[in-house]
Homo-oligomer: A and B are copies of this chain.
Amino acid sequence: MKEVLPVFNSAVSIDCVLFGFDAGELKILLIERNEEPYKDWWALPGNLVGEEESVDQSASRILHELTGLSNIYMEQYYTFGEVKRHPQGRVITVAYYAMLRLGGDKALKPVSNYAKRAQWVNIKELPKLAFDHQYIFDKGLEKIKRRIKHLPIAFELLPEKFTLTQVQNVYELILGKKLDKRNFRKKILSFGVLKELNEKQKGVSFRAATLYKFDKRKYAKLFGKEISF
Q: Please list the residues of chain A having a beta carbon within 8 angstroms of any beta carbon in chain B.
A: 1-2, 4-12, 36, 48-56, 58, 76, 78-79, 81-83, 86-92, 94, 149, 226, 228
* A51/B9 in contact, CB under 8 A: yes
Which residues of chain B have C-beta atoms less than 8 A from A76's C-beta? 78-79
The listed residue (B5, B54, B92, B226) touching A49 by CB distance below 8 A is: B92
Q: Is the CB of B11 within 8 A of A11?
A: no
* Cβ–Cβ contact B4 & A53, under 8 A: no
Chain B hits for A52, CB < 8 A = 83
Are the CB atoms of B92 and A2 closer together than 8 Å?
Answer: no
18 pairs of residues in contact across A and B, judged by CB atoms under 8 Å: A2-B89, A5-B86, A5-B88, A8-B11, A9-B11, A9-B49, A10-B11, A12-B12, A12-B81, A49-B81, A52-B83, A54-B81, A54-B82, A76-B78, A79-B79, A79-B94, A149-B226, A228-B228
Beta-carbon nearest neighbor of A51 in chain B: B9
Q: Decide if A48 touches B9 in the complex (CB within 8 Å).
A: yes
A86 neighbours in B (Cβ, 8 Å): 5
In the complex, the answer to whether B83 meets A53 with C-beta atoms within 8 Å is yes
The answer to whether A54 touches B83 (Cβ under 8 A) is yes
Separation of A226 and B149 alpha carbons in the complex (Å): 11
Contact A11 B1 (CB under 8 A): no
- A1: B residues at CB distance < 8 A: 87-89
Q: Min CB distance, A162 to chain B, in Å?
A: 27
Give Cα A161 to B58, complex, Å. Answer: 48
Q: Once bound together, how far apart are the Cα atoms of A105 and B94, in whole Å?
A: 38
Q: Nearest B residue to A14 by beta-carbon distance?
A: B81
Identify the closest chain B residue to A5 (Cβ).
Answer: B89
Among B49, B87, B149, the residue within 8 A (CB) of A10 is B49
When C-beta atoms are compared, the residue in chain B nearest to A93 turns out to be B79
Query: Which of A76, A89, A91 has its CB near the most chain B CB atoms (within 10 A)?
Result: A89
Chain B residue nearest to A55 (CB atoms) is: B81
